[in-house]
Amino acid sequence: METLPVSYPMLQILQEGKKNMAQRETRKRRRERIKAKIRLAILALIFAIILFTISGYIQEQKIALLEENQIIIERTSFTNTEETNLLQQEENANLTKHALDEAIEESYLGFSTIAKLEVPKINLDTYILKDYTQEGMKVCASKFWGPEPNEVGNFCIAGHNYQQENMFNHLIDLETGDELYLSDNKNGKYVYTIDKIYRVKPENTAPIMQETQGKRMVTLITCVNYSKNRLIVQAVEEEKE
C-alpha cells in the first residue's frame, strides 16, 4: 500500500514541532539543573547554620557557669561597707590623672557619655553612656553600677550582644590576659587586663559587688545566644612595674 506523499508545508510543520519539543526538553533539563543547584545551596546553607549554631553553643558551654558562692573576687580583710567606702574615697583622692589621647565627647546620639571603652582583641571602640536606660542600651553600652570610671571599685558596664560594631557581641571571643582600655575626662586612660570570664544566671548579682581590695576593676556584662544566662568579663588595672 502506497503512502501519501508529505507536502512541503506539512513537512515544515513536523520539523518545527520536533524542534519545539527539543527546545522544551532542553528548557526542562535546564530548569531541573537550576532546581538541583538551588536545593543544594539551601542544604549547604542549612548545614552551615546548624554547624554555626553547634559551634556557638559549644563555645558558650566551655565558659563556666558559676553560682553566687563560687564567684571569687579578692576582698579586703574587712567587709564593712562603710570602711570599704572610706578606703575607696582615700584611694580616689590620691589618683594621678593619666594622659588622655583626646577628650571624650560628652554626648553620643543625644545621650550623655561618661567614658570610652576600647578592646583591641575584638576591634571594639565604643562610648559608655552615663545612664542605664532601655533606649540608651539600644545605642551603645552603658554604665550599670559602681564608681566613676577609672576610680577604685568595680566599674560595671552593660551592653547588648547585637551584631553591631559598638556592641558586646564579640565578648565571647576574649581570653584571660587580653587587655582593654577605659578612658574618661577626669582620670585619663587606664589599661586593664582580663583575669576572669564566666557566665551567671540573671539574678546573680555577685559580679557587680564592690569589694576590690583597693583595686580598679572593670566588669563587662552581656547576654549569650543559647540561654538566659549572662556573660561576665572582668579585668583589673594593669600592675605598674
Measured CA to CA, the distance from residue 63 to residue 197 in angstroms comes to: 7
- Domain 66-237 is of which CATH architecture? Beta Barrel (2.40)
Cell (9 digits) for 14 = 513536523
Looking at residue 22, its pLDDT comes to 73
Helix (H) or strand (E) holding 229: none
Extents of the domains making up the chain = 1-62, 66-237
Cα 102 to chain centroid distance, Å, stands at 26
Burial label, 209 (beta-carbon count in 10 A; 0-12, 13-18, 19+): middle
Q: What number of other Cβ atoms are within 10 A of residue 163's Cβ?
A: 8
What digits encode the pLDDT tens for the residues 207-224? 999 888 889 999 999 998
Looking at residue 111, its pLDDT comes to 96
> What mean pLDDT do residues 27-49 have?
85
Q: Is the pLDDT of residue 19 over 80?
A: no
Number of residues written out for the chain = 241
User: Which residues neighbour 95 within 8 Å (Cβ) at sequence distance 6 or greater?
Assistant: 150, 151, 187
SS3 of residue 237 by DSSP = strand
- Contact predicate 14/7, CB 8 Å: no
Predicted TM-score (pTM) of the model is 0.72
Looking at residue 185, its pLDDT comes to 95
Cα 76 to chain centroid distance, Å, stands at 32
User: Which residues neighbour 241 within 8 Å (Cβ) at sequence distance 6 or greater?
Assistant: none
Looking at residue 70, its pLDDT comes to 65
Q: Identify which of 145, 101, 146 has the alpha carbon closest to the alpha carbon of residue 125.
A: 101
Q: What angle do CA 126, 132, 137 make, to 5 degrees?
A: 50
> What mean pLDDT do residues 12-32 have?
76
Cell (9 digits) for 123 = 576591634
Q: Is the pLDDT of residue 1 over 70?
A: no
Measured CA to CA, the distance from residue 98 to residue 88 in angstroms comes to: 18
What digits encode the pLDDT tens for the residues 151-171? 999 999 999 999 999 999 999
Cell (9 digits) for 129 = 553612656
Looking at residue 214, its pLDDT comes to 87
Cell (9 digits) for 9 = 508545508
* DSSP state at residue 130: S
What digits encode the pLDDT tens for the residues 72-114? 544 444 344 555 555 555 555 555 556 677 889 999 999 999 9
